[in-house]
């Protein structure tokens, strides 16, 4: 296994971590979107600390190493940091040159604060003290997500996805998910199987207008944030929501404050996938609820369209279109 020590010694192409944090910071300076992410985190005083190399090219984009992590950027994902054991696992898998691609969020804590995760263009890496860091992707990730991520009966992943005679498999604390290569279906085995119906999992088509808009908006994951933009390739927060509803034949107002006046009010405890959720007072941000505690949103400059846990934003109200 490649370790960060090997990366620091130059054994791996990509973002090194320098020759050791004990040495003086080199004469490098973060700039552009990577610099914006670094400054937004707190610069030298943040978990990232000082830079240890110059910004440089990696497969598909740019990256820069810091004493406490690395920031990766691409035009589709924006600039996001990876750190710790998630970062090390990301390196071992090939970083941006792997199927994971670029990170879509900075590392976040999980819902019950028992671990942390990064979502990537091609999957996710979840970490906890009990399980370590492991990737989940594809249909297996979709099934795990439908069961509540790490808060569901399966808990955290305990393995990466690996081949079995039936197709692919990932193991979790509460069981395993197996993907059938012939049928495309997934099934759950182990203790967690009692929490789901025994039939193979199928995904029904979106039923409500909000769910349809959510599905449309999800096709723009990673699209760059541009203030005042409303698609089809760049968005601000209300530009994304108005564009998504427009694609299904529903026109809603352009700004977040205006959107907060249409449809019907929904209590926070009654949120369903597809509801518009508004943040801050006065309302200045909006996203589409995914049914799992997150909103799909266009957050701010330097960050692409992504899922953000509601708990990290200042909730105001919600509306159902």
Catalytic residue status for 180: no
Cis before 141 (ω within 30)? no
Residue 220 token pair: 């723009």
Q: Which entry of 105, 294, 297, 316 is annotated as an active-site residue?
A: 297
> Roughly how many angstroms between the first and final C-alpha of the chain, as a whole number?
50
Q: Among 50, 92, 119, 237, which one carries the catalytic annotation?
A: 237
Which positions ≥6 away from 51 have C-beta within 8 Å? 25, 26, 28, 29, 30, 38, 64, 65, 66, 67
Q: Position of tokens 């808990």? A: 155
DSSP 123: E
Q: Point out the catalytic residue in the list 105, 134, 285, 294.
A: 285
**CA-to-CA dists, residue 2 to 6, 170, 270, 274, angstroms:** 6, 22, 46, 42
105 in catalytic set: no
Active-site residue list: 237, 285, 297
């Amino acid at each position: 296994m490649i370790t960060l020590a090997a990366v620091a010694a130059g054994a791996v192409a990509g973002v090194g971590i320098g020759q050791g944090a004990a040495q003086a910071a080199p004469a490098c300076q973060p700039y552009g979107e990577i610099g914006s992410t670094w400054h937004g985190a707190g610069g030298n005083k943040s978990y990232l600390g000082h830079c240890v190399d110059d910004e440089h090219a990696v497969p598909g984009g740019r990256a820069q190493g810091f004493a406490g992590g690395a920031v990766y950027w691409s035009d589709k994902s924006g600039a996001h940091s990876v750190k710790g054991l998630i970062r090390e696992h990301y390196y071992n898998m090939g970083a941006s040159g792997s199927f994971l691609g670029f990170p879509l969020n900075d590392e976040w804590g999980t819902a019950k604060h028992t671990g942390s995760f990064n979502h990537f263009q091609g999957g996710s890496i979840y970490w906890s003290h009990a399980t370590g860091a492991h990737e989940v992707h594809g249909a297996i990730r979709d099934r795990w997500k439908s069961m509540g991520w790490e808060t569901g009966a399966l808990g955290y992943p305990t393995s990466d996805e690996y081949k079995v005679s039936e197709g692919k498999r990932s193991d979790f604390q509460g069981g395993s998910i197996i993907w059938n290569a012939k049928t495309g279906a997934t099934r759950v085995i182990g203790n967690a199987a009692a929490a789901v119906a025994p039939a193979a999992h199928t995904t029904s088509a979106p039923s409500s207008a909000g769910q349809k808009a959510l599905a449309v908006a999800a096709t723009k994951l990673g699209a760059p944030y541009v203030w005042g933009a409303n698609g089809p390739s760049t968005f601000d927060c209300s530009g994304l929501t108005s564009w998504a509803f427009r694609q299904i034949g529903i026109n809603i107002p352009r700004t977040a404050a205006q959107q907060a006046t249409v449809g019907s009010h929904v209590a926070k405890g009654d949120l369903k996938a597809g509801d518009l959720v508004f943040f801050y007072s006065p309302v200045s941000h909006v996203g589409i609820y995914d049914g799992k505690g997150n909103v799909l949103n266009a957050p701010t400059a330097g960050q692409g369209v992504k899922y953000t846990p509601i708990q990290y934003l200042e909730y105001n109200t919600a509306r159902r279109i």
